[in-house]
Structure 1
Amino acid sequence: MTETTAEALADRVRAGELRLHELEEHAAADVATAARRLLVAETVDADVDVLGEYAFDAAAADANIENMIGAVQVPLGVAGPVAVDGDALSGDRYLPLATTEGALVASINRGCSVLNDAGGATARVTKRGMTRAPVFRVADVAAATALVEWVDDNISELRAAAEATTNHGELVDVTPYVVGNNVYLRFRYDTKDAMGMNMATIATGEACALIEAETDASLVALSGNLCSDKKPAAVNAVEGRGRSVSADVTIPREIVEERLHTTPAAIAEINTRKNLVGSAKAGSLGFNAHVANAVAAMFLATGQDEAQVVEGANAITTAETTPEGDLYCSVSLASLEVGTVGGGTRLPTQAAGLEILGVRGGGDPAGTNADALAEAIAVGALAGELSLLAALGSRHLSSAHADLGR
């Protein structure tokens, strides 16, 4: 590749010789990025030079972004360390949190401190499976029933077709849904340490080709929205997607009173009236205080697909007093879609976030690192829920924000 400058490259775009997305074919990635910045600066009244201040080679982001002009930097903090008792994650861990919301890290950090005083949090992944649900057109409901029966009778052939596309993914099951002359087949995969959306899509495409070759069904769309990806959906809240994970803790009454300045009974009542009844009245799919905050901050810090925070907020928080008068609190996230390989996890700063947790790359055995990440996020969500519920119980929410100047 002949060396060129950003200005020279921009001139070729101005002359109509090149289009924005072709620049990497004619110059190094960082030069192409700088050329686009020059072109954008010509048409906007804004200083875009600051977007060129980033710490990685633009070529490293080739699989993550198109028409790159720079990078947006988000402050990264840590909460903890917090004691975690998980199947895949154990010991004292710092939780990396990338956010621009003042007081969020402080709140989760306070929750982590209280979890430690109570002996730490327990976390477990209860279900795994990335889904893709194509929709087929058939003649009528009789043909729909026939297709469902064919799928049930040929699951081993579908599994072979799907798994031929991947070295790691495994087809767990296929669940049919019939709506008139529409048949939706919800394929569920164990994608190990990958979040697995692309893996599931490619594998399902091969299975769909087999279905069309062997039946009268016609594939309408490889995704029929019963997957369901990047949108609020009850199917994910009930059936799960990615990882279903729960975290809980029992906090002695004296710790609740001394550290959180409220009582177990007050926190339990707030949770019932706010997170459960209030959410039900609102028609919410998430019955929690602010789980999305912890999910989003840890997603950004570790290179996850930020749009899938939508599903990650499918969470239920519970709180109750024990017979001894202590506080039991839990958070269950139904559809947490995470991975420690592929996607944004390859970028250096996001890889560092995973390394803080000790979960970068593939696990041994496969899948354990993604499980560990899910457990860490669940513990962070639990700490955040506990801290916010306590702030409401002690009526310190507004004053805490005021004290922090945010």
Structure 2
Amino acid sequence: MTDRVDAGTAEELADRVESGDLRLYELDDHADADTAAAARRLVVERDSGAELETTGEYAFPAEQAAGSNIENMIGAAQIPMGVAGPVEIDGGAFEGETYLPLATTEGALLASVNRGLSVIDDAGGATARVTKRGMTRAPVFRTSGIAESQALAEWVRENTDQLREAAESTTSHGKLLDVTPYVVGDNVFLRFRYDTADAMGMNMVTIATGEACDVIEGETDASLVALSGNLCTDKKPAAINAVEGRGRSVTAEATLPREFVEETLKTTPEAIAEVNTRKNLIGSAKAGSLGFNAQVANVVAAMYLATGQDAAQVVEGSNGIVSVEAREDGLYAAVSLASIEVGTVGGGTKLPTQAEGLDVLGIRGGGDPAGSNADALAECVATGALAGELSLLSALASRNLSSAHAELGR
């Protein structure tokens, strides 16, 4: 993208950084975003000896990304994107046939998901539903002791409407659903849960919760220690998310005729069910895992990257339980994902490539009714995860996993 860069200015700015006259983050105040990024590349190239020509080739307005998605921008990391499908989805929000966009560097992943989607589609498609919604933020307060902690918990229960009014005054879209107190000695954690419509909503709920915390400090003797007390829980493995959910809890299921399993997946319903029980359920339980699945994180991460989601939230997104039952006429399979934190507005969804990923699904921007597009995205993610599970479990059951990886160069 050198045609957008003033090379002389970039060189001059790089010299000023190296002399100590400017810091990297100050470059945006002295040049347009593309030139500032070029100057940073020069500084890094000189310091490291790396050549960043490809990093400097990007197809989006630098000022768009530098303004809301990244700091100290030097360019872009390109990840191969592919599609799997098509597949028919009967969802509560998504209805119809679609390709699923996935961005990854892992060979064999797209082929695996595509195989699973193929057999699901041949069997009539997947059914998917969002079963619970709620983005959370959980501040922690300090009290004088257990008596005051209990009093604070009771006050919150009795004054939720007052907290709701304060929180919702900061947003035109977010709605406070409930506040749950957790008392630990002289600590009180308050888990605020919001409907964030089509936004993933972390910034929204953080600002709203901050406003509610001001009310609590004004009306009680408790002191706010941290706006996030880790009981939310964001971007960390946590049983509370696996049990209570965060963002959207969603399930996708399919029933496959026995002949489809035998002809396409090259195994039997009974063999897949046994692998699921011994690997996904017993093996995961023995390991103390929060995810009872084979590769949910693979699909969640790839679809998050393709559609502009916060990739770090794949930690919660991998909280998935796979249910498989061999039946007389075939195989029932379902994946339930407790914490799919996605949005179709805001954040990375505004960047061109990621917006195009949402366009593939037909769900970019706000939905009608509000929240329906983000629900639809969650249903698509769950369907992709189900396909990945069916494909991998059947590969294990038929003992051809290693040969598939060798053939596809993974």
**Same fold by TM (over 0.5)?**
yes
Structure 2 CA distance for aligned equivalents of residues 403 and 12 of structure 1? 51
Unaligned runs of 5+ in 2: 1-5
- Is the 2:7–2:35 contact (alpha carbons within 8 Å) kept by the matching residues of 1? no
Structure 2 CA distance for aligned equivalents of residues 10 and 42 of structure 1? 9
Deviation at 1:49, TM superposition (A): 1.7
Deviation at 1:85, TM superposition (A): 0.4
Aligned to 1:260: 265
Letter in 1 for 2:355: A
Q: 1:70 aligns with which of 62, 67, 75?
A: 75
SS of 2:129 mapped into structure 1? strand
Aligned to 1:125: 130
Deviation at 1:48, TM superposition (A): 1.6
Letter in 2 for 1:23: L
Q: 2:20 aligns with which of 16, 19, 28?
A: 16
SS of 1:383 mapped into structure 2? helix
Aligned to 2:304: 299
Deviation at 1:4, TM superposition (A): 5.9
Structure 2 CA distance for aligned equivalents of residues 260 and 242 of structure 1? 33
Please list, as runs of the form range in 1=range in 2, the aligned pairs for 1:83-162 lying within 5 A after superposition: 83-162=88-167
Deviation at 1:13, TM superposition (A): 1.6
Please list, as runs of the form range in 1=range in 2, the aligned pairs for 1:16-95 lying within 5 A after superposition: 16-62=20-66, 63-95=68-100
SS of 1:51 mapped into structure 2? coil
Q: 1:260-298 CA deviation, whole Å, 9 max, x = no partner?
A: 110000000000000000000000000000000000000
Q: 2:177 aligns with which of 164, 172, 179?
A: 172
Q: 1:346-368 CA deviation, whole Å, 9 max, x = no partner?
A: 10000000000001000011100
Letter in 1 for 2:203: N
- Is the 1:264–1:325 contact (alpha carbons within 8 Å) kept by the matching residues of 2? no
Aligned to 1:244: 249
SS of 1:266 mapped into structure 2? helix
Q: 1:316-343 CA deviation, whole Å, 9 max, x = no partner?
A: 0010112x24100000000010000000
Letter in 1 for 2:41: R
Aligned to 2:208: 203
Percent of pairs identical after alignment?
A: 73
Structure 2 CA distance for aligned equivalents of residues 372 and 3 of structure 1? 45
Q: 1:177-204 CA deviation, whole Å, 9 max, x = no partner?
A: 0001110000000000000000000000
Q: 1:24-57 CA deviation, whole Å, 9 max, x = no partner?
A: 1111100000000000011113222211011112
- Is the 1:241–1:336 contact (alpha carbons within 8 Å) kept by the matching residues of 2? yes
Please list, as runs of the form range in 1=range in 2, the aligned pairs for 1:205-220 lying within 5 A after superposition: 205-220=210-225
Aligned to 2:355: 351
Q: 2:367 aligns with which of 350, 363, 367?
A: 363
Letter in 1 for 2:365: G
Letter in 2 for 1:328: Y
Aligned to 1:228: 233
User: Is 1:328 matched with 2:309?
Assistant: no
Deviation at 1:111, TM superposition (A): 0.5
Q: Stretches of 4+ moved more than 3 A in 1?
A: none
Aligned to 1:285: 290
SS of 2:264 mapped into structure 1? helix
Q: 2:389 aligns with which of 375, 385, 391?
A: 385
Structure 1 CA distance for aligned equivalents of residues 37 and 59 of structure 2? 14
Q: 1:405 aligns with which of 388, 400, 409?
A: 409
Deviation at 1:17, TM superposition (A): 2.2
CA RMSD of aligned residues (A): 1.0
Q: 1:117-155 CA deviation, whole Å, 9 max, x = no partner?
A: 110000000000000000001111111110011111111
Structure 2 CA distance for aligned equivalents of residues 38 and 219 of structure 1? 44
TM-score by length of 1: 0.98
Structure 2 CA distance for aligned equivalents of residues 355 and 125 of structure 1? 21
- Is the 1:338–1:370 contact (alpha carbons within 8 Å) kept by the matching residues of 2? yes
- Is the 1:132–1:204 contact (alpha carbons within 8 Å) kept by the matching residues of 2? yes
Deviation at 1:405, TM superposition (A): 2.6
- Is the 2:44–2:50 contact (alpha carbons within 8 Å) kept by the matching residues of 1? no
